[in-house]
Amino acid sequence: MTYCVAMHLADGMVFISDSRTNAGIDQISTFRKLFIFSTPGERLIVLQTAGNLATSQSVVNLLKQRCSGPGPHLLNVRTLYDATVLVAETVREVVARDRTKLAGKTDLSCSFLVGGQIAEGAMDVYSIYPQGNFIQATEDTPFLQLGESKYGRPILDRNLTYRTSLEEGLRCGLISFDSTMRSNLSVGMPLDLLVFRKDSFASAKSYRITADDPYFMRIRMQWAAGLQDMLAALPEPPDAYMSGGCQ
């Protein structure tokens, strides 16, 4: 499995991806699922992927290769919307190419999150479905997820709004990953993250959080201890709860 989150907040964007892939339960590997296409000072486009690894790697390779060609590519399209259409078309192209008799019933589909900002355009985050159509994050729904999304969703639903600061959005996202990784072994370290401050175009680098990262270890421990304290601090249940009130 995979877990990826992309947030579109008032001040910028936060992207976090895990890196665990598995083909069956006994073939587990580490592959990066967060990719950056950028022209310093002009554009930053972040891709995050889930689904069939062969498909998503081919899509990213083709998108990269074509950046030096004459056609439309991620470094010359004019809008984030056009960039998303291009990624979706490339997904369809690869699936059509690989969907041969040999592939049989193998599920070749994959999903992408595409986010970023180009020149003076607005920031945007899109989620491309395996079918190739896509939706967009909005002020009402400022985050999109890929993959194993349910374990880590409550903390985002509860605490993330469009006005949340980048720092708090990042902490909220990291706790969402912590919860997911504790409950589902198919989502795992290291994590790749990128925080982009609106109009900055400066942060075209991602940061890799490894299992021994001191900050992440610290907030994981602080969170776990805090939850235990909070549970213990909840008031005692009424007697009716403990002994039944009605049949």
Nearer to a copy of itself, 46 or 128 (CB): 46
> Does residue 222 touch a copy of itself according to CB under 8 A?
yes
Give the integer Cα–Cα distance in Å for 134 and 243: 51
Tokens of 120: 């003076």
> Does residue 81 touch a copy of itself according to CB under 8 A?
no
Pick from 24, 40, 104, 245 the residue near a copy of itself by CB under 8 A: 245
> Does residue 237 touch a copy of itself according to CB under 8 A?
yes
> Does residue 60 touch a copy of itself according to CB under 8 A?
no
**Three-state SS for 192?**
strand
Tokens of 178: 């912590």
Largest CA distance in the chain: 74
Distance of CA 64 to the CA centre of its chain: 20
> Does residue 163 touch a copy of itself according to CB under 8 A?
no
> Does residue 234 touch a copy of itself according to CB under 8 A?
yes
> Does residue 65 touch a copy of itself according to CB under 8 A?
no
> Does residue 168 touch a copy of itself according to CB under 8 A?
yes
Give the integer Cα–Cα distance in Å for 72 and 82: 9
Binding mask 99-138 for a copy of itself (x = CB under 8 A): ----------------------------------------
> Does residue 202 touch a copy of itself according to CB under 8 A?
yes
Backbone phi, psi, residue 123, to 5°:
-70, 150
> Does residue 243 touch a copy of itself according to CB under 8 A?
yes
> Does residue 226 touch a copy of itself according to CB under 8 A?
yes
Nearer to a copy of itself, 88 or 156 (CB): 156
Pick from 175, 188, 190, 201 the residue near a copy of itself by CB under 8 A: 175
> Does residue 39 touch a copy of itself according to CB under 8 A?
no
> Does residue 50 touch a copy of itself according to CB under 8 A?
no
Burial class of residue 32 (count of CB atoms within 10 Å of its CB; 0-12, 13-18, 19+): middle
Q: Which residues pair with 37 in a beta bridge?
A: 45
Q: Is residue 190 reached through a cis peptide bond, with omega within 30 degrees of 0 on the bond before it?
A: yes
> Does residue 238 touch a copy of itself according to CB under 8 A?
yes
> Does residue 66 touch a copy of itself according to CB under 8 A?
no
**Three-state SS for 196?**
strand
Give the integer Cα–Cα distance in Å for 134 and 140: 17
Give the integer Cα–Cα distance in Å for 8 and 173: 12
- Distant-in-sequence, close-in-space partners of 56: CB < 8 Å, separation ≥ 6: 33, 49, 50, 110, 112
> Does residue 235 touch a copy of itself according to CB under 8 A?
yes
Q: Which residues bind a copy of itself (CB under 8 A)?
A: 36, 150-155, 157-159, 166-168, 170-172, 175, 179-180, 182-183, 193-195, 202-209, 215, 218-219, 222-224, 226-228, 230-238, 240-247
